[in-house]
Amino acid sequence: MSVGWDDDEVVAGWPGLPPLSGDVVADACVVGLGASGLAAVEALADRGVAVVGVDAGRVAAGAAGRNGGFLIAGPALFLHDAIAAWGAEPALQLYRATLAELRGLADVLGPAVMRQVGSIRLAGLPGAPTSDAEAAQRVAELADCAALADALREHDIAVESYAGPLGEGLFLPDDAAVNPAVRAVELARRLAGRARLHEQTRVLDVRAGLVRTDRGVLRANAVIVAVDGRLDVLLPQLRGRVRTARLQMLSTAPLAEARLPCPVYSRHGYDYAQQRPDGRLFVGGGRDLFAADEWSADAEPTGQVQRWIEAVAARMAGEATGALPAVEHRWAASVGFTLDARPLCTMVDDGVVAVGGYNGTGNLVGPVAARAAVALALDGAAPPAWATS
Ligand SMILES: Cc1cc2nc3c(=O)[nH]c(=O)nc-3n(C[C@H](O)[C@H](O)[C@H](O)COP(=O)(O)OP(=O)(O)OC[C@H]3O[C@@H](n4cnc5c(N)ncnc54)[C@H](O)[C@@H]3O)c2cc1C
């Protein structure tokens, strides 16, 4: 398995962080240095707290460095579905918090790393439907796009209709695209002087005041466990509340043509692709089609899902480009799902807060939830209404 995002020179040139060596006492400890854990580290450092953060692998060794790189505002559920399921206030609160997260990230990363190009929700994959069933699904998805657009407009969130070479759907101008591994490495670089951060340090056990790793013991009154996928493995008491799934992707050689102006997702977000400025396609999806196998803590790509993603990539590439360009990398990573699609932010032991369960869309929701976890751990602030606690 190799990850297409890691080809970037910023990631390839990351010098790494030293593993923990021996026991450490700090005010706070963060487990997991993906985008969520790094946001928790930042929030703790901003409050003058002495913080140590550890990751079992490299920074963003998990989903945070292996995802589609979509920075899409809002919860995992589309806004109209979230309003129906959770009520308007929690759904809108989370939507607005992710919009604020996007704005803050743009300031930190700059336009070279974070491309503010919007996103397209497409009704069905590009190209003509290949069956009656696909045609019917496209009609239904177009109706769902209209319902989403109504909800967004009602709450003054920017949305436009999309009709173009890719098909029909919605354009959401606030959204953005990023190389997620670059994002994480850049954030870690900024934080390294403000907190003790250690890679290659696996946490074995977490309890109140004590984090046992394979490199030493950490003692801290506040502990944030910011592990999205495999949260139920590290904290077995969360089994039944959060469940690990595998999501898969591939990346191709550059296409001759600029096909995707921005991140594009279809089939209700199950399939997704972005084309990088150098022409390469980064494509993922298909989890719903092989759900029984993809409820797994294993993070290796599989043949059946990769074949589906290749078909998605060919549709995204379009007929004009001929055959799908060579696949250069294939990979997978673990994410956490909750029963009601709300992120989990919950105290599991005195001063120990677990945060995760972003239901496949944690690039913005994760940092927002991680900050709520810090407020819960330090101040006892109740988790927001959009979280499962
Ligand atoms: C293929 C794929 C595509 C996706 N596409 C998108 C997308 O386009 N947009 C979007 O918003 N979301 C997307 N997601 C979901 C998103 O990637 C995750 O929700 C998000 O990255 C979660 O970030 P995190 O920092 O909370 O957790 P993670 O990224 O999972 O980070 C957790 C970190 O904890 C570390 N860790 C785990 N166990 C231990 C341990 N025992 N000890 C120490 N460290 C440990 C891991 O090494 C990892 O670095 C996608 C996910 C995948 C897999």
Domain match, 309 and 344 both: no
**Do residue 252 and residue 158 come from a single domain?**
yes
Q: Per residue in 59-109, pLDDT tens?
A: 988 999 999 999 999 999 999 999 999 999 999 999 999 999 999 999 999
Same domain, 258 and 161: yes
CA distance 52 to 187: 15
Nearest residue to 263 (alpha-carbon basis) of 157, 172, 333: 172
Q: Are residues 14 and 49 in the same domain?
A: yes
Is 155 in the same domain as 287? yes
272 and 325 in a single domain? The answer is yes
Check whether residue 161 and residue 274 sit in a common domain: yes
Question: For residue 134, how far is its CA from the centre of ligand 1 (angstroms)?
Answer: 31
User: Closest ligand 1 atom, CA of 32?
Assistant: 34
Ligand 1 site residues, Cβ closer than 6 angstroms: 31-37, 54-57, 60-64, 66-70, 202-203, 226-230, 234, 247-249, 284, 333, 335, 356, 358, 360-363, 366
Predicted confidence at residue 389, as pLDDT, reads 83
The Å distance, Cα 298 to ligand 1 centre, comes to 14
Over the stretch 145-199, which tens digit does the pLDDT of each residue have?
A: 999 999 999 999 999 999 999 999 999 999 999 999 999 999 999 998 899 999 9
User: Are 41 and 166 in the same domain?
Assistant: no
Q: Is residue 384 part of a domain?
A: no
Q: Is residue 283 part of a domain?
A: yes
Asked if the structure places residue 350 within a domain, the reply is yes
One domain, residues 211 and 357: yes
Pick the atom of ligand 1 nearest to 331's CA: 1
When the pLDDT of each residue in the chain is averaged and rounded to a whole number, the result is 96
Q: Which atom of ligand 1 is nearest to the CA of 334?
A: 53
Ligand 1 atom with least separation from CA of 59 = 49
**Is residue 15 domain-resident?**
yes
Same domain, 165 and 259: yes
CATH number of the domain encompassing residue 146: 3.30.9.10
pLDDT of residue 319: 66
Total Cβ atoms within 10 A of residue 156:
6
Summarised one tens digit per residue, pLDDT across range 97-138 is 999 999 999 999 999 999 999 999 999 999 999 899 999 999
Asked whether residue 34 is assigned to any structural domain, the reply reads yes
Average pLDDT over residues 24-41: 98
Q: Please name the residue whose Cα sits nearest to atom 18 of ligand 1.
A: 362
Maximal CA-CA distance, the chain: 63
Distance CA 114, CA 104 (A): 11
Helix (H, G, I), strand (E, B) or coil at 154: helix
Question: Where in the sequence is the domain holding 45, given as residue range(s)?
Answer: 4-67+180-242+340-379
The closest-lying atom of ligand 1 relative to the alpha carbon of residue 37 is 25
The one-letter amino acid at 129:
P
Residue ID of nearest Cα to ligand 1 atom 2 = 67
pLDDT at 1: 79
Please tell me the distance between residue 288's alpha carbon and the centre of ligand 1 in angstroms: 19
pLDDT of residue 322: 53
Quick: pLDDT tens for 185-211: 999 999 988 999 999 999 999 999 999
Residue 330 lies in a domain: yes
d(CA 228, ligand 1 centre) in Å = 6
Q: What's the domain count of the chain?
A: 2
pLDDT of 321 higher than 60 = no
Same structural domain, 318 and 249: yes
Query: What global pTM score does this model have?
Result: 0.96
86 inside domain: no
pLDDT value for 297? 93
Q: How far is the CA of 284 from the centre of ligand 1 (A)?
A: 15
Contact yes or no for 245/335 (Cβ under 8 A):
yes
H-assigned helices in the chain? 9-12, 35-46, 79-86, 88-109, 132-154, 180-191, 231-234, 291-294, 303-317, 362-379
Instruction: State the distance from the centre of ligand 1 to the C-alpha of 333, rounded, in angstroms.
Output: 7
CATH code: domain of residue 27: 3.50.50.60
| Backbone conformation region of residue 380, classed left if phi is above 0, alpha if psi is from -120 to 50, else beta | left
Which pLDDT value is given to residue 323?
Answer: 67
Tell me what pLDDT residue 354 has.
Answer: 98
Residue minimizing CA distance to atom 27 of ligand 1: 228
Q: Considering the domain boundaries, does residue 76 fall inside one?
A: no
Phi first, then psi, for residue 118 (nearest 5°) are: 80, -175
Comparing CA positions, the residue from 51, 35, 17, 49 lying closest to residue 105 is 35
Q: Are residues 170 and 276 in the same domain?
A: yes
Q: What is the pLDDT at residue 292?
A: 94
| Ligand 1 center to 262 CA (angstroms) | 22
Mutation choice for ligand 1 from 29, 78, 95, 227, CB with most ligand atoms inside 8 A: 227
How far apart are the CA of 253 and the centre of ligand 1, in A?
A: 25
Instruction: Please tell me the distance between residue 34's alpha carbon and the centre of ligand 1 in angstroms.
Output: 6
Q: Which tens digits make up the pLDDT trace of 257-299?
A: 999 999 999 999 999 999 999 999 999 999 999 999 999 999 9
CA-proximal residue: ligand 1, atom 34 (nearest) = 32
Q: Is the pLDDT of residue 324 over 90?
A: no
CA torsion 363-311-77-258 (nearest 10°) is: 60
